[in-house]
Amino acid sequence: MDTLASYDELPYDSLPLPETQPDFLAAVATLHGFDAPDPTQARILELGCASGGNLIPLAWRWPGSECVGVELSRVQAEAGADFIRHLGLSNIRIVHGDLAALPADLGEFDYIIAHGVFSWVPPAIQRALLDVCRRHLTPYGVAYVSFNVTAGWARLRPLRTALIERTAADMPAPARVAEARRVLAELELEWTDPVLLKEIAYLKSAAPSYLFHEYLAEFNTPTRFSEFSARLDDHGLRYVGEAGPRHAVVELEDAWGLVPESMAGRWLDAEAALDEAHVIRFRRALIARADAPCARPPQAAALAGLAFHADLRSDDEIDLETASEQAFVNPAGGAYLVAHPAMKAAAMILSAAYPAALAYPELLASTQHALADYDAGDFDEAAFRDALFPLVMAHGVTPSVDTMPSVTEPADRPRAHALARLQASSSGWAASGVRHVALELDEPGRILLGLLDGNRTLHELAVVFRDVLADAGYEQTLETVQAMTHRLVWLFARQGLLTESPRSPGPQ
Ligand SMILES: C[S@@+](CC[C@H](N)C(=O)[O-])C[C@H]1O[C@@H](n2cnc3c(N)ncnc32)[C@H](O)[C@@H]1O
């Protein structure tokens, strides 16, 4: 029961995790030739869901889905259940319990999510987790299981060993984190390995819960990809694909001559070699039942059936006439070099439409128009797909099976949806955008989001906001607060936190 105690004592930051959202998982499965279930009507199970920061926004987004979270830490499970009660959601529940002892009548699920669990639990719970996937997946269901990979963790092992050896295991968690930070400062002076120094620099400002549960946890067992896929075999499961960013993709040149099973065997060997070559430390594996059809390496041709969204910007003036490389960045700090003129145009078109997604034919047509407007000439569709593919695999552009309309401009009387307003007023919760991205707000941001009930114009909001800020100790002129209100309301609109009016259908 150490896991339970440690997560009760220092709860994990429970945030929306974009790479676990089922519309993205279905899109990744599609790229692998695997037909995953409709996420909007799905049964979704999350194992080790902490306080539901990931699962609750999914249940909110898809009222036709049914979501179940399982969490061993009572403190976290109860925090999640309280939040759900306040929100009044009826399509989600969080069960306080052990994933190894699930109620027999839980039924089957189209999606099973286990993020940050597999490598951090004892071997018996690892086996139980894979058993749950086998027993509770629907025939075409997809499970997402993330794990630490040996190739990358071998280099980091000395850091975990030193932190464990130099901090007392019986200290309360917050004190042990403080002690670990002191040890990091010592190690920074003692060590010269650039990989370890880079990790130390990151850990010095990382969330205390990350430092504690990753580096000081009783279990952190990295696994080789080959071992992981052998364990899937043992549990009647098979690999579908990788939901993490990929900067290299396996291609099997003579794949057409291979039967699916032997193609899968060669592909898995190549995936294992890729981990070593790229020193991969973390994987997000998509898994299906062994009796489901075989998936294959991802194919650019499958992009044509998907929709895409992207939140990119570039500090350069975009050159649509030449194939010069230009850097685009996203708010999470991801940087992507794009050379193909059509892809530069597509990145700008998607970013202007964000958070909406554009279906492939619409993206293609808009890109053709943009290039024609700039007299940049025509382009070949196969080249467009080939340029889009690596950007999608690297997560610069996100694929989805759902275009999902959203309010992209604030109304005269802006209104945030009820989930965002409850997140804003609940300490420790991040607001979740419609694209399942965590928006960490400062105190003024939280206050304003909580005020957006659709009853005030922007001017009225600024006046009330100024008074509330003054009461909270932030004295500002009305002009400054008006500018801040305008900026934040547009940011909320871009993150899909706004809804139209109290009368519009769907979640309010
Ligand atoms: C590292 S945290 C990850 C939390 C969340 N999935 C995320 O990624 O933000 C691991 C979670 O798994 C839970 N957990 C560990 N063992 C479990 C078990 N046997 N049954 C259910 N939950 C478990 C822990 O309490 C903790 O909340």
Per-residue pLDDT tens over the stretch 13-29: 789 999 999 999 999 99
Give the single-character DSSP code of 13: P
User: Is the residue at 405 inside a domain?
Assistant: no
Ligand 1 neighbour 7 (Cβ under 6 A): yes
Would you state the pLDDT for residue 506?
Answer: 43
Would you state the pLDDT for residue 440?
Answer: 86
Structural domain harbouring 202: 151-215
Instruction: Give the helix/strand (H/E) hosting 145.
Output: strand 137-148
Lowest mean pLDDT among 98-112, 240-254, 255-269, 484-498: 255-269
Gap between the Cα atoms of 223 and 178, Å rounded: 29
Grouping H, G, I as helix, E, B as strand and the rest as coil, residue 309 is: strand
Ligand 1 neighbour 292 (Cβ under 6 A): no
In tens, the pLDDT along 326-350 reads: 999 999 899 999 999 999 999 999 9
Residues 164, 184, single domain; the answer is yes
Ligand 1 neighbour 76 (Cβ under 6 A): yes
Residues 159, 143, single domain; the answer is no
Lowest mean pLDDT among 234-243, 436-445, 493-502: 493-502
Ligand 1 neighbour 284 (Cβ under 6 A): no
Closest CA to 387 of 453, 451, 343, 420: 343
Torsion angle, alpha carbons of 228, 220, 132, 39, to 10? -80
Residues 136, 272, single domain; the answer is yes
Domain boundary among 261, 289, 317: 289
Residue 123, pLDDT above cutoff 80 = yes
Lowest mean pLDDT among 208-212, 259-263, 492-496: 259-263
CA of 73 to the centre of ligand 1 (A): 8
Per the model's pLDDT, the better-predicted residue between 408 and 59 turns out to be: 59
Residues 173, 306, single domain; the answer is no
pLDDT band at 407 (very low <50, low <70, confident <90, very high): confident
Ligand 1 neighbour 121 (Cβ under 6 A): yes
Structurally, the chain folds into a number of domains equal to: 4
Ligand 1 neighbour 117 (Cβ under 6 A): yes
Ligand 1 neighbour 211 (Cβ under 6 A): no
DSSP symbols for 348-413: HHHHHHTTS-EEHHHHHHHHHHHHHHTT-----HHHHHHHHHHHHHTTSSEEES-------S--SS
Grouping H, G, I as helix, E, B as strand and the rest as coil, residue 49 is: coil
Per the model's pLDDT, the better-predicted residue between 256 and 216 turns out to be: 216
Residues 62, 109, single domain; the answer is yes
Ligand 1 neighbour 495 (Cβ under 6 A): no
CA of 284 to the centre of ligand 1 (A): 16
If you average pLDDT over every residue of the chain, what do you get? Answer: 93
CA of 286 to the centre of ligand 1 (A): 18
Residues 30, 102, single domain; the answer is yes
What CATH number is attached to the domain comprising 27?
Answer: 3.40.50.150
Ligand 1 neighbour 16 (Cβ under 6 A): no
Probe target for ligand 1 pocket from 51, 117, 121, with the most ligand atoms within 8 Å of CB: 117
Gap between the Cα atoms of 341 and 383, Å rounded: 11
Residue type, 296: R
The two beta strands, 43-47 and 326-329, are unpaired
CA of 47 to the centre of ligand 1 (A): 7
Ligand 1 neighbour 430 (Cβ under 6 A): no
The ligand 1 atom at the shortest distance from the C-alpha of residue 11 is: 27
Gap between the Cα atoms of 129 and 233, Å rounded: 14
CA of 81 to the centre of ligand 1 (A): 16
Would you state the pLDDT for residue 199?
Answer: 97
> Which residue has the least CA distance to atom 14 on ligand 1?
48
CA of 74 to the centre of ligand 1 (A): 11
Residues 134, 182, single domain; the answer is no
Per the model's pLDDT, the better-predicted residue between 389 and 428 turns out to be: 389
Would you state the pLDDT for residue 46?
Answer: 98
Residue 146 pairs in a beta bridge with 284
The structure tokens listed for 368 are 């053709």
Task: Give start and end residues of each alpha helix (H) in 377-507.
Answer: 381-393, 418-425, 443-451, 458-471, 478-494
User: Is the residue at 240 inside a domain?
Assistant: yes
- Count of beta carbons in the 10 Å neighbourhood of residue 10: 21
User: Is the residue at 408 inside a domain?
Assistant: no
Ligand 1 neighbour 99 (Cβ under 6 A): yes
Rounded to a whole number of angstroms, the CA Rg of the chain reads: 24
Residues 40, 105, single domain; the answer is yes
User: Is the residue at 406 inside a domain?
Assistant: no
pLDDT band at 428 (very low <50, low <70, confident <90, very high): confident
User: Is the residue at 41 inside a domain?
Assistant: yes
Domain boundary among 167, 190, 215: 215
Rounded to 5 degrees, what are φ and ψ at 142?
A: -125, 130
Residues 378, 452, single domain; the answer is no
Contact 366, 396 (CB under 8 A): no
Would you state the pLDDT for residue 13?
Answer: 77
Ligand 1 neighbour 19 (Cβ under 6 A): no
Grouping H, G, I as helix, E, B as strand and the rest as coil, residue 355 is: coil
User: Is the residue at 467 inside a domain?
Assistant: yes
In tens, the pLDDT along 371-383 reads: 988 777 677 899 9
User: Is the residue at 314 inside a domain?
Assistant: yes
Tokens 């989001």 correspond to what residue?
449
| Over residues 181-194, mean pLDDT | 96
The ligand 1 atom at the shortest distance from the C-alpha of residue 146 is: 8
Residues 206, 238, single domain; the answer is no
Residues 127, 31, single domain; the answer is yes
Domain boundary among 400, 426, 449: 400
CA of 101 to the centre of ligand 1 (A): 14
User: Is the residue at 258 inside a domain?
Assistant: yes
Residues 105, 232, single domain; the answer is yes
Residue 3, pLDDT above cutoff 60 = no
